[in-house]
Amino acid sequence: MWQSYWNGLAVAAGLIIAIGTQNAFVLGQSLKREFHLSAATLCILCDALMICLGVFGLTRVLQQHPDALEAIRWAGVVFLLAYAGFAARRAVRPNSLKQHEQRRLSHGAVLVTTLAVTLLNPHFYLDTVLLIGSLGAQQIHPGAYAAGATSASALWFISLALGAAWLAPYLARPITWRLLDSAIAALMLWIAYGLAFPAGA
């Protein structure tokens, strides 16, 4: 069970921790201390919902179609390798997080904007439903895997919400994102290898 949990946490962490519209918005609200906890909580709930839908919705279908499961396994390998390549490229050419002064938003506006940068992003569905979900369907304990993936989301967004002010000087440095993207690239390669050559196969 714990193996499935850690697999879920590792996969989700590698996909969630990256500069993107969702993370940049939550971080910006955190730095300004404007309803940052609400924004982070909403992101966690969206991730948890879509991860569970992906894991448990695909599990029953894939169990009846082993050929589809095999196809998804290799599609996952290809995607992870491509993702590792993108992370490696970002590590070579890092971009610092740019902070822009924005007018103060109401609580409702922050929630609506959080939903927009989350649900209107195609990569959100690709990561949570297709990739994390399909990999979770192959786990011995899919529930533990989903819990691990959700834990990664919770840990990341809570860290952004509570630690943004302290992390701001470091996040403004390209070297920070270079090291982070390098670690993500290595993690994705390791997961891809494990998926392509499962133990005992």
pLDDT digits (tens, 9 = 90+) for 16-29: 776 566 777 787 77
- Tell me whether residue 6 is in a domain: yes
Residues 59 and 42: their CA atoms lie apart, in Å, by 26
- Tell me whether residue 141 is in a domain: yes
Question: Tell me, what amino acid is at 177?
Answer: W
CA torsion 194-195-199-201 (nearest 10°) is: -140
Question: What is the number of domains present in the chain?
Answer: 1
- Tell me whether residue 19 is in a domain: yes
Indicate the burial class of 105 (C-beta count within 10 angstroms; 0-12, 13-18, 19 or more). Answer: middle
For the cut 60, the answer to whether the pLDDT of residue 81 exceeds it is yes
pLDDT category of residue 184 using cuts at 50, 70 and 90: confident
Digit-coded pLDDT (tens) for 51-68: 888 888 765 665 677 776
The pLDDT of residue 31: 72
Q: What is the pTM of this model?
A: 0.64
- Tell me whether residue 201 is in a domain: no
- Tell me whether residue 27 is in a domain: yes
- Tell me whether residue 131 is in a domain: yes
Range of the domain at 146: 2-196
Q: Percent helix, strand and coil across the chain, each rounded to 5?
A: 80, 0, 20
